[in-house]
Copies of this chain bind each other. A is one copy, B any other.
Amino acid sequence: MTLLKNDRFLRALLKQPVDVTPVWMMRQAGRYLPEYRASRAKAGNFMSLMQNPQFACEVTLQPLERYPLDAAILFSDILTIPDAMGQGLYFETGEGPRFKKVINTAADIEALPIPDPEQDLGYVMDAVRTIRGALNGRVPLIGFSGSPWTLATYMVEGGSSKDFRKSKAMLYDNPQAMHVLLDKLAQAVTGYLNGQIRAGAQAVQIFDTWGGSLSAAAYQEFSLAYMQQIVNGLIRQHEGRQVPVILFTKNGGLWLESMAATGAEALGLDWTCDLGQARARVGDKVALQGNMDPTVLYARPAAIRAEVARILASYGSGSGHVFNLGHGITPEVDPAHAGAFIEAVHEFSAPYHQGNVRHQETESHQAGV
């Protein structure tokens, strides 16, 4: 167990004082970086890149070499679990993810095994161990998974979808079958995230990318209830330190109160939420992560800096904010613009944390226990 040299990210998730607002970017190891594209070309394709722990480690660290980011996130895909359940994940060029097997019936759902993280998803656990070693305490490592509802949509649709026709028809026509599928996925995600925590992940994020496609009532019953089941089953202390959980439902801004009631330490916000209003709504219950529109990175650095300043002012003073984009960074962004973004967060946030000094692992360790 190495000491953390920069623990701002974990401290902010626990609402402990920080010197500046920590920042990372969803999909920070991604196609906007030429070095990522080179690694991917070397690996041959996305699956070979992701399933090789050495390659996964290499691309995870790339953005940290360029930018003073406050966290690393495991390079992987949200669809590793359905793949380990036997669905046969593959990627068509320009088409996004696809599955060879598709879930159509209750019998298909009954037949699904619940994967064992070390046996069936060992390449992910190995990647976490490799990255954690290579980080050597530089910043914390975030593990992640897709949410049960999000995974279910891909498994029932057979890939990406615009309107979730098959998965929503199953939800409304055969809610029992959908509940069996979601319960299995919640068990699988719990085991998978606990495996990542045991392997060295220091915080975990649940990506509920498609929960926001549901009605308010269906969200509670078919997405949030299963994220609650996961939160209840997660390892919450590891290596003598609290392991914070971040829930991120894209387009979930209307439901922050019920998300905050799950016991997760933090909520991810997309850019449609006003950050200050979100803070007022959740009070001291959770930290908030977000929420700049990723398309702001298409604008000039001066405009990026102005938007960072606006968002920091909206949150105001005190800890409990991890700066991030409201969704993943896109392939067309100029890496220099990402750099201007990250620099502006550190530069402009210092006045909101006046009097706080840079903390080290030992103190974070004590505070987190």
Using a CB–CB cutoff of 8 Å, the interface residues on chain A facing chain B are 163-165, 168-169, 172-173, 212, 214-219, 251, 253-254, 271-274, 277, 291-296, 298-300, 303-304, 307, 310, 314, 326, 330, 332
Sample of 7 more A-B contacts, CB < 8 Å, known A169-B295, A173-B300, A173-B303: A163-B294, A163-B295, A173-B299, A215-B293, A215-B326, A216-B271, A251-B272
> Does B273 lie within 8 Å of A216, measured CB to CB?
yes
> Does B296 lie within 8 Å of A216, measured CB to CB?
no
Q: How far is the CB of A135 from chain B (nearest CB, A)?
A: 31
What is the CA–CA distance of A271 and B217 in the complex, to the nearest angstrom?
Answer: 9
Copy number of this protein in the oligomer?
2
> Does B215 lie within 8 Å of A169, measured CB to CB?
no
What is the CA–CA distance of A314 and B272 in the complex, to the nearest angstrom?
Answer: 25
Q: How far is the CB of A216 from chain B (nearest CB, A)?
A: 4
Q: How far is the CB of A302 from chain B (nearest CB, A)?
A: 9
Q: Which residues of the partner chain B approach A296 to less than 8 Å between Cβ atoms?
A: 168, 172
Q: Take A215-B272, A216-B277, A330-B163 as given contacts and tell me if A169 and B298 are in contact as well, using a CB distance cutoff of 8 Å.
A: yes
Q: How far is the CB of A341 from chain B (nearest CB, A)?
A: 12
* 30 A-B pairs with C-beta separation under 8 A: A163-B294, A163-B295, A165-B295, A165-B330, A165-B332, A168-B293, A168-B295, A168-B298, A168-B299, A169-B295, A172-B295, A172-B296, A172-B298, A172-B299, A172-B307, A173-B299, A173-B303, A212-B272, A214-B271, A214-B272, A215-B272, A215-B291, A216-B274, A217-B274, A217-B310, A217-B314, A219-B272, A253-B254, A254-B254, A254-B273
